[in-house]
Amino acid sequence: MSLWESILAALDSLRANLFRTALTMLGISIGVAAVIVLIAMGEGTKSYISNEFYSLGTNLIIVQPGRTETKSPLGPPPGAANRDLTIQDVRALERHGTLLSAVSPLMMGSATISIAGRQRDVMVLGTDDSLPSILSIGMANGRFYSENDSFAGRRVCTIGWVVKEELFGDANPIGSIVRVARSEFRVIGVMEKKGTSLGMDFDDIIFMPVRAYQKLFDQSALFGIRAKARSQEDLDAAVDQSRKILTRMHHGEEDFTMVDQEAMLSTMGSILDTLSYILAGIAAISLVVGGIGIMNILLVSVTERTREVGLRMAVGARRRDILKQFVTESVVLGFLGGALGIAAGLAGNAALGMLSDKFQPAVSAGTVAFAAGFSIVLGLLFGVYPAWRAAALDPILALRRE
């Protein structure tokens, strides 16, 4: 009997017990669908996170005060610093960091901003003129403050889109004086709409020169430093160079943490990979349960079809013919279950993808092929024992059974 004929025969006998076949298949289908959806969610999360990272600019180098022994992708815990990062550190990096295209100090706080009776609590970023290029944020209106403004610590600011809408509505804010905490600032620009990145709403923010921030908050230590390497190829070298410069600035002590974007991403990536493999592994357990279901049903089927086995043997079927027949049924069952599971998994992914435009579950063709192959192997694995039981039947006893 050709392979194709064997498959048709298997389909035929699976059809004889349609409901039972469907239930058995469901076990495999659910497992396969779960594996596919979970892997796709893992991949989707990964690309979501990397998109978020790259939306904050590329070739980014992040310096935080304090030394962390264990490599955490998110830098040291705040407040663990024993020596602060300062404007002088930024200047040193600007002067000696030949592999850097931009360096900015970063200070973060919150304050109430008000004008003509309207007010809003916003996040305040103290930084200098190169931050927009590092984080690739553009202007919607007006201009960002200049190097000169930064250096002089002029009380000027640029505001995010939401701040502008809330305080000014449709009016043009450029040139207006706003009150930030106890001081007055002149609005010189409105930032382009950026949305939320990594949990921070860039539209509900105001930027001011770092020296103005230091005066306003009476604080000199930096929250951190952000720098940009000249190119992706230079990134590693730029990190090394910056580390040397800062270590020298700190009298030979490396009391800061420096991470580059790629390292952060790959750390995140491997954490997420581990996570999604664990999840897929859990889902794979349900596949094994499905396989046991196949085995169980086949064992029942062998018992029910003892007489059939006896008849086939009487007309010349060898043991291996019987073995082949039952294994084929099991493999076909596994494959059909797998195919159904793949279809359900892909449909599930499509449905999840419609919930958000930023998060898109994604599976590779390789994963799908693997799932299909795995369900066939599962059918084979769990079909062999029942098939062997059928093939080992004594034809005489099988024919006596009624």
Partner 1 sequence: MIWRAHAAPPRASDASATSAAIAAPSIVLELVSKIYASGGGAGGESIEVAALRDVSLRIERGEFVAIIGASGSGKSTLLNILGCLDRPTRGRYLLDGDEVSGLTEGQLARIRNERMGFVFQAFNLLPRQTALDNAALPLIYSGVGRRERRRRAGEVLAQLQLADRVHHRPNQLSGGQIQRVAIARALIQRPNVLLADEPTGNLDSRTGREILEIFRAMNRDLGVTVIVVTHDPALVQSIPRIVRLSDGAVVEDTTRGAAAPPGEALP
Residues lying near partner 1 in the complex (CB under 8 A): 1-3, 5-6, 12-13, 16, 307-308, 311-321, 323-324, 395-396, 399, 402
Least Å distance, CB 364 to partner 1, is 30
Distance CA 101, CA 254 (A): 23
Checking DSSP bridges between strand 183-191 and strand 156-159, what pairing results, if any? parallel
Least Å distance, CB 7 to partner 1, is 10
Most distant CA atoms of the chain, gap in Å: 104
Residue nearer to partner 1 on the CB measure, 127 or 325: 325
Per-residue tokens: 22: 């469907």
Distance CA 24, CA 19 (A): 9
Least Å distance, CB 26 to partner 1, is 23
Least Å distance, CB 317 to partner 1, is 5
Q: Measuring CA to CA, which residue among 289, 319, 295 is closest to residue 394?
A: 319
Residue 400, CA atoms < 13 Å, CB-side half-sphere: 5
Residue nearer to partner 1 on the CB measure, 161 or 382: 382
Residue nearer to partner 1 on the CB measure, 145 or 382: 382
Residue nearer to partner 1 on the CB measure, 2 or 70: 2
| Cβ neighbours of residue 177 closer than 8 Å, sequence gap 6 or more | 115, 184, 185, 186, 187
Residue nearer to partner 1 on the CB measure, 91 or 318: 318
List 189's β-bridge partners, or say none. Answer: 142, 158
Distance CA 153, CA 370 (A): 60
Per-residue tokens: 39: 């892997």
Distance CA 113, CA 364 (A): 49
Residue nearer to partner 1 on the CB measure, 3 or 365: 3
Whether the CA torsion 37, 43, 44, 49 is positive or negative: it is positive
Q: What type of residue is 45?
A: T
Least Å distance, CB 6 to partner 1, is 7
Residue nearer to partner 1 on the CB measure, 79 or 316: 316
Distance CA 387, CA 321 (A): 10
Least Å distance, CB 316 to partner 1, is 2
Helices (H), 250-358: 261-304, 306-314, 319-355
CA dihedral 120, 126, 131, 132 (to 10 degrees): 20
Residue nearer to partner 1 on the CB measure, 244 or 307: 307
Checking DSSP bridges between strand 205-209 and strand 118-127, what pairing results, if any? parallel
Residue nearer to partner 1 on the CB measure, 178 or 398: 398
Residue 378: exposed, middle, or buried by beta-carbon count in 10 A (0-12, 13-18, 19+)?
A: buried
Least Å distance, CB 32 to partner 1, is 25
Residue nearer to partner 1 on the CB measure, 239 or 323: 323
Least Å distance, CB 395 to partner 1, is 5
Distance CA 159, CA 148 (A): 19
Least Å distance, CB 324 to partner 1, is 6
Least Å distance, CB 299 to partner 1, is 20
Per-residue tokens: 326: 């039952």
